[in-house]
Chain A
Amino acid sequence: MKGFLKNFIILVLILPLLIMFLWSIVNSWPWPYILPQDISFRAFLYIFEPSTKIFRILINSILLSAIVTFFTLLISLPAAKALAFYDFKGKSLVKVLLLLPLIVPILSVAMGIHLSFIRLGIANTYLGVILIHVIPGIPYGVKILLNVFELNGNKMEFQARTLGASKLQVLRYITLPMIMPGLIVAGSIIYISSFTQYFITFLIGGGKIVTYSMVLFPFIESGDRTMASALSVIFVINIGIVLYISEKLVGNIYKNSSKYFV
């Protein structure tokens, strides 16, 4: 019974992906055929056709999300550390406010920020898009790292310092390796959050900055199922690769060192 349930759940999760994959390589799939009759790779050929620029946009998007991930972690790391180890007035309020971007619709946040970005002259630029992508990533980054810091404590850091390590050396040789699993997990979630953003990219980028999700959208809307499926397959593969790498890295860290790790 347990095995059946497991298989059923896997099937429910996999089946839509399977159908999506099939859809991406057909020309037409009319009723009442269970399997498609007319296989064609036109969608993939179209995607990788240089004149459509879709492949370039994909690479651009991956880079954009990677940069967003880097900056979000850069901001989250000191913030999480401060929240974990320093006492200041209103600390618990700040902890709650951190989750706000998850509660308040990001769209309303972005619309407000849009005005400021126009004033600052960074609307319709890569910088603007990167900054707006950082916002939904921060709650994940800070929350995950905060938990990691709270679990690890800062005793190891103090130990390293009594042994003569400067603050910078402590960061490099102790803190970063110790929180690496947390960084990887937070990083992959932030990456996915950025990669899947559609509307705020559209708003802040003003249509000039085109990301992969924005390419996907018109095809879904226009009802070209084959194209939408092919684009989605690549979308899923990209995220799958990120999750796979993250799992592998974290697994390796656990395997190579002590169970002291969180």
Chain B
Amino acid sequence: MANIRLIDISKSYGNKKILKDINLTINEGELIVLLGPSGSGKTTLLHGIAGIISFDKGQVYFDEDLINDIPIEKRNAVLVDQNLLLFPHMTVYSNIAFGLKMRKVDKRIIDKKVRELIDLMDLKGHENKYPNELSGGQMQRVAIARALAIEPKVLLLDEPFSKLDIVLRKNLQEFVKKLQKKLNITTIMVTHDKEEALFMADKIALLIDGEIKQFDTPMNIYEKPVSMEVAEFFGPVNYFKGKVVNGIFISNIGEFKVNIYNDSNIIFMFRPEQIILTEKGNIKGIIIKKVYCGDKVNYLIDVNGQTIICSTFQKNLDIGNNVSIYLNFNEAVYFYY
């Protein structure tokens, strides 16, 4: 358990800059998700913290200790890879005991610890099985148990659930989240799945092209993105361009009262679920497309030539219907361009 500080981290492969001056502070016991598209440098950053690769520039601190030059095995930062990497020639028991055995811990203590973890991870009865005899979820739990056995300072999870089916994934996400809070282990998890990130994280660091675009709580990063890039990463958005004159936002979909007084070149952002269909709306439009999604329906609505995407529980509307839309500009996020 430690806090982690990353200072001015850079890494290049050949001419390609993978990480550009990353700065990040992670508090003890927090679960941080490094979120980003593939190729954004998430795994590189994680491997650098684990010590598998070295950064070109910058410092990594666990608490007050600079760990740049500390070898992998002395860092106490365990990686759980997306391929799990259970040792195929060892049983479940030996896999979990591995880290303790390498530390030459007393056999009785190892046994006690491993049995505890086997209970905790619901792996009873599988102790003597080899990894190929386990199901995907069991293998996942063995990999996590093996990592937890050595009571690491830092737990590094590299897309740990990406190979599981959706039900199992949900279960394990909850399980790991609970466990992490219970054991209070500082955890960094890498994923490209935004739902997983929003669900799991205490804070999300959005990494795009080797730069951290925003580091914030899931709620803030989703509802108050600092840039259009961040906003778009979390799903479709509607933009309304215009200018504000004397507290009135003037745009091609109409004029609205806003909290800002005077500004030109402003863009208001609304997520599809913020487009509210109601009798008392402040703009009018026509539905041009309907996409049924089960729990909700997505409508594409034409307003004065601009297409708006709206996500709602109202399923009874059809293409060609006139709708009235309410846009709450007082709570909307805006950007400048």
A-to-B contact residues, CB < 8 Å: 155-156, 158-166, 169, 173-174, 177-178, 253, 256-261
B4 beta carbon closer than 8 Å to chain A: no
C-beta contact mask, B125-139 vs A, less than 8 Å → 1, else 0? 000001110000000
Judge whether B146 and A259 touch: CB under 8 Å: no
Query: Which residue, of B87, B90, B99, has the highest number of chain A Cβ atoms within 10 A?
Result: B87
**Interface SS majority for chain A:** helix
Residue of A nearest to B95 (CB): A163
Given A258-B130, A258-B132, A260-B132 in contact, is the A162-B88 Cβ separation under 8 Å?
no
A163 & B52 in contact (Cβ 8 Å cutoff): no
Chain B residues with CB under 8 Å of A257's CB are: 88-90, 130, 132
In the complex, what residues of B have CB within 8 A of residue A256's CB?
89, 130
**Is B89 touching A162 in the complex (CB atoms < 8 A)?**
no
Q: Whose C-beta in chain A lies nearest to the C-beta of B83?
A: A155
* Number of B residues, CB within 8 Å of A: 31
A-B contacts counted at CB < 8 A amount to 81
Contacts of A160 in B (CB 8 A): 87, 98, 102
Whole-angstrom CA separation of A12 from B132 in the bound complex? 41
* Contact A261 to B88, CB < 8 A, known contacts A164-B150, A166-B73: yes
Complex: A209 Cα to B156 Cα, angstroms: 59
Q: Which of chain B's residues have a CB closer than 8 A to the CB of A163?
A: 73, 78, 98-99, 102, 146-147, 150
Chain A nearest CB from B48 CB (Å) reads 12
A31–B87 alpha-carbon span in the complex (Å)? 63
Residues in A neighbouring B131, C-beta threshold 8 A:
258, 260
Check: B50 CB closer than 8 A to any chain A CB. yes
Most chain A beta-carbon contacts within 10 A, residue among B71, B73, B79, B147: B73
Per-residue CB contact flags for chain B residues 65-81 toward chain A (1 = under 8 Å, else 0) read 00000011111111101
Judge whether B81 and A164 touch: CB under 8 Å. no
Query: Are A159 and B88 in contact, with the CB atoms below 8 A?
Result: no
Chain A residues lying within 8 Å of B98, measured Cβ to Cβ, are 160, 163, 165, 173
Query: Could you tell me if B88 and A178 are in contact, using CB atoms closer than 8 angstroms?
Result: yes
30 residue pairs bridging A and B, Cβ less than 8 Å apart: A156-B85, A158-B72, A159-B79, A159-B81, A159-B85, A160-B87, A160-B102, A162-B75, A162-B77, A163-B146, A164-B74, A164-B76, A164-B102, A164-B103, A164-B150, A165-B98, A165-B99, A166-B102, A169-B102, A174-B87, A177-B89, A178-B88, A178-B89, A256-B130, A257-B88, A257-B130, A257-B132, A258-B88, A258-B132, A259-B132
